[in-house]
Amino acid sequence: MSERALRGTRLGATSYETDRGIDLAPRQTVEYACQNGHRFEVPFSVEAEIPSAWECRFCGQEAALLDGDEPEEKKVKPTRTHWDMLMERRTREELEEVLAERLAVLRSGGMNLAVHPRDTRKSA
């Protein structure tokens, strides 16, 4: 019985509500154009902030707002290298001092580079 109750209707496809007696929000129409020459309009509320770019409804590329301001370029931070981060922690004089200490240890034979303490291979 319940199967027959919905027969003949397409759920979700058709709205049975009417627009009678409803005041829609004030709207404005904004025009966009993409690089492929497609032009289209998008309705926005009068109170809405208008985006400077919108996806083209024909080809999917980014379309720019016509008669609008160019989008602001975002500030990009310069890439920090390991050297930059090291120089934030130490001065050049301190680095030269550490280098001299480590070279002195290596030259004195204080570190045996032939056998590493974590080396699990048996030496012959």
Residue stretches of the annotated binding site: 34, 38, 56, 59
DSSP per-residue codes, 7-19: TT--TTT------
At residue 108, what is the residue type?
A: S
Strand partners, 42: 30
The annotation places the binding site for Zn(2+) at: 34, 38, 56, 59
CA atoms within 13 A of residue 103's CA, in its CB half-sphere: 6
